[in-house]
């Protein structure tokens, strides 16, 4: 006698299989079911995390089984097998406010405010950032003033200053640091240049007049000696100076004290040296004629 046919088993419906073996009758629940109080009931694979859905899929329980549907922001591919991301920015589904850009994310998107703007408290408006008011600018406060624009700012030069770069201005006239005497540049070998909020000492390039202009000194009576920013003509042995660039033999009755060491001539030589320095550092040029040299030489 088959006790399964006499309904002595606990199997219900078509979800279980009854087995009658010797003195034992039991019910085997099918896949997707389990025995509870001698009855086969559905297993909720989604709740018990027994499903095989991916993170971008939503598990949906069904009687005796489960299904995996695409989550929001995903859709089935052409083979209707896998879920793929929906690019809301490209298909026009995303709605971002003005002054923002749409950024696609996996299964979603975000609206990022453009540079110079920030998201307002309503999370749906990008408002202008006043960099000047919020001290977010990098304008030089000494030489410029910050002017806010929509989405940006600019640094305007203060009075008596002119533009150096986007963030700094240089003083002009008496407002120049170089002209105010704050610099410690060597006046002989460098030139002061205003830069940004300070100054730089730019090295000057010496010109070797003895090589570049060999005719600077009388070639038969002197030797040329280069100095920084100028040159000097030394008399050859046995000769005496008759001008700054020429020497000759001493004439009979020549008084060394009266001619070679005349204070007026020494003062003229010093003036030449000073003018040479000024021409290099301040752009002051001077011209001395042969007539002047001869007049100095006679004194």
Task: Tell me the domains of the chain and their CATH numbers.
Answer: 88-128 (2.10.25.10), 144-203 (no CATH), 209-298 (no CATH)
- The reported pLDDT for the residue numbered 224 is 93
- The reported pLDDT for the residue numbered 290 is 46
What is the tens place of the pLDDT at every residue in 100-120? 999 999 999 999 999 999 999
- Running DSSP on this structure, what letter comes out for residue 123? S
Kindly report the number of other CB atoms within 10 A of residue 245's CB atom: 18
The tokens for 170 are 């240089």
The tokens for 44 are 């909720």
What values do phi and psi take at 195, rounded to 5?
-140, 130
- The reported pLDDT for the residue numbered 286 is 47
- The reported pLDDT for the residue numbered 156 is 94
Mean pLDDT by runs of 10 across the 299 residues of the chain is 60 70 76 81 91 92 92 89 91 91 93 93 92 87 90 91 87 78 74 77 85 89 89 92 88 46 56 58 48 49
Kindly report the number of other CB atoms within 10 A of residue 205's CB atom: 8
Kindly report the number of other CB atoms within 10 A of residue 192's CB atom: 22
Q: Give the position of tokens 């004290």.
A: 257
């Amino acid at each position: 006698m088959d006790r399964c046919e006499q309904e002595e088993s606990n199997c219900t419906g078509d979800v279980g299989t009854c087995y009658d073996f010797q003195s034992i009758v039991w019910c085997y629940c099918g896949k997707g079911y389990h025995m509870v109080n001698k009855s086969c009931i559905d297993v909720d694979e989604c709740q018990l995390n027994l499903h095989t859905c991916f993170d971008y899929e939503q598990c949906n329980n069904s009687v005796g089984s489960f299904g995996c549907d695409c989550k929001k922001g995903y859709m089935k591919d052409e083979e209707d097998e896998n879920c793929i991301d929906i690019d809301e920015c490209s298909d026009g589904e995303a709605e971002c406010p003005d002054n923002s850009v749409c950024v696609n994310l996996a299964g979603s998107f975000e609206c990022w405010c453009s540079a110079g703007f920030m998201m307002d408290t309503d999370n749906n408006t990008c408002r202008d950032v006043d960099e000047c008011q919020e001290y977010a600018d990098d304008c030089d406060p000494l030489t410029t003033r910050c002017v806010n624009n929509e989405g940006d700012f600019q640094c305007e030069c203060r009075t008596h200053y002119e533009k150096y770069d986007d963030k700094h201005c240089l003083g002009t006239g008496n407002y120049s640091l170089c002209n105010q005497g704050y610099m410690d540049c060597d006046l002989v070998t460098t030139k002061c240049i205003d830069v940004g909020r300070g100054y730089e000492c730019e090295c000057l390039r010496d010109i070797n007049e003895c090589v570049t202009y060999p005719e600077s000194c009388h070639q038969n009576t002197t030797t040329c000696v280069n100095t920084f920013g100028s040159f000097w003509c030394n008399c050859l042995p046995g000769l005496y100076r008759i001008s700054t660039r020429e020497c000759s033999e001493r004439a009979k009755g020549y008084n060394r004290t009266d001619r070679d060491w005349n204070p007026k001539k020494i003062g003229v030589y010093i003036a030449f040296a000073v003018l040479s320095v000024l021409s290099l550092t301040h752009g002051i040029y001077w011209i001395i004629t042969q007539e002047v040299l001869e007049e100095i030489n006679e004194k």
